[in-house]
Amino acid sequence: MTTAAGSSPFRSLAIVGVLFFIIGFFTWINGPLITFVQLAFELDEVNAFLVLMVFYLSYFFLALPAAALLKRTGMKKGLAASLFVMAVGAAMFGEFSTQRWYPGALAGLFVIGGGLALLQTAVNPYVSILGPIESAAQRIALMGICNKIAGMLAPIVIGTLVLHGVGDLAAQVEAADPVARAVLLDAFAAKIHLPYLVMAGILVVVAIGILFSPLPEVKPSEVNAAPLADADGERGLSQFPHLWLGVLCLFLYVGVEVLAGDAIGTYGRGFGLPLDQTKLFTTCTLFAMLAGYLVGLALIPRFVSQERYLAISATLGVLFALGALLTHGYVSVGFVAALGFANAMMWPAIFPLAIKGLGRHTETGSALLIMGIAGGAIVPQLFAVLKQHYDFQLVFAGLAVPGYLYILYYALAGHRVGRARPATAVPERGIMADSPP
């Protein structure tokens, strides 16, 4: 099958790559934002981690409405709308952070997350069906490289423009009287305003560009039909247990991914490491993820299937999490950062395995998977709460290891549960049937 008239699959991938860059930047900026809000709003760790809680819960509440909206607007208008929503949220966060009103800042993050929920509900199944479903992990890996490059840049940008000298500032705030403390914190909080206004402006420009881009409209239900005996569309979502198992798998995956990426700074501070160093630890995790994407891109599907690579990744996750538990200081932090390598190819493998064969249910199934991103709200918050009462290394491993073990189960068996036998040798369809990504 071919793409829409006048469109190029490679040009479509390039446009989608820009969108994944945006997703990565706004997702992985949350790690250093924890450091920012903890100082600017004078919060303890549990309340500072509400940054992650609010941001990722927006996916849970808004993914299904996003899917319904996309059915009405079509993909291009839906993608543009998602970027406009994110622009509003970015402006809100910058403004309310400058005023040092934490509920307003969290509301801005929730709006940004809502825009991302709409964006991800559209763009993830789109990439999955932009060719054979068996090689979807390879295409998503390409998008993941764009995502993680942006994620590596985000902590550096926010660290340079906003968090520069934050260790010294924290010491000054600690020693200052109430009046001087308020002046210092007001000036610090105001640093976030201009960067977020600039980001809002860029999002508006990209949204307008999407509306006039050659990105083709694609109906997932038309290119993801299952070659099953009951492929006439009579099956309901309840008859696809591999999808529901995939939702739980993705919930746990995002939880451990955010734990390794956004909570690594807090983990490092548990060893007493300097604040000016821990603010950049997220970049280390994302560098490892980038390496993992490059390896996965080279191996899948030519040398190893996406489900087999998922099993290998989950096994590495267990080993690295145990390595972090059994070591200390920078070595332990290094094992946490190495989880980025293990995590890299999990989303690219889980998502296409979970939506495979859903047919007319593809959009709704994709929205359910996007809701699973709420794992990024729950698992890190559990870490922040439990570490107040138990050893932080033990808490980290206690959350990560069971998550990776379930992902291993899904890779080995869970993705096949309830899958019907093929009635005929109908090939999987995609809009780039035999073309490389």
Kindly report, residue by residue over 128-180, the tens digit of the pLDDT: 666 665 666 667 777 878 887 888 888 889 988 998 888 889 889 889 999 99
Query: Is the residue at 429 inside a domain?
Result: no
The residue range of the domain holding 115 is 9-215+231-416
426 within some domain: no
Spatial distance between the Cα atoms of 194 and 174, rounded to a whole number of angstroms: 26
CATH, residue 126: 1.20.1250.20
User: What pLDDT, on a 0 to 100 scale, did the predictor assign at position 6?
Assistant: 43
Task: Please report whether residue 53 resides in a domain.
Answer: yes
Residue matched to tokens 């290998």: 312
At 342-373, the pLDDT tens digits run 998 898 889 888 888 777 777 788 888 888 99
For residue 255, tell me if it sits in a domain.
yes
* Host H or E run for residue 91: helix 75-98
What is the model's pLDDT at position 427?
Answer: 40
274 burial type by CB count under 10 A (0-12 exposed, 13-18 middle, 19+ buried)? exposed
User: Which secondary structure element, helix H or strand E, spans residue 74, and what is its range?
Assistant: none
433 inside domain: no
Per-residue pLDDT of 359-413, as tens digits, reads 777 778 888 888 899 999 999 999 999 999 999 999 999 999 999 999 999 999 9
Domain-located, residue 427 = no
Taking alpha carbons only, the member of 388, 382, 385, 284 closest to residue 332 is 284
Q: Give the pLDDT score at 5.
A: 39
Which residue type does 128 have? S
pLDDT at residue 426, rounded to an integer: 39
Q: What number is the average pLDDT over the span 314-337?
A: 96
Structural domain tally of the chain? 1
Taking the CA of residue 179 as centre, how many other CA atoms within 13 Å lie in the half-sphere pointing to its CB? 0
Residue 27 near residue 116, CB atoms below 8 Å: yes
- Percent of the chain at pLDDT exceeding 90: 47
Residue-level pLDDT at 137: 63
Check whether 47 has a pLDDT greater than 90: yes
Cα distances (Å, whole numbers) of residue 124 to 17, 194, 326, 422: 11, 31, 37, 26
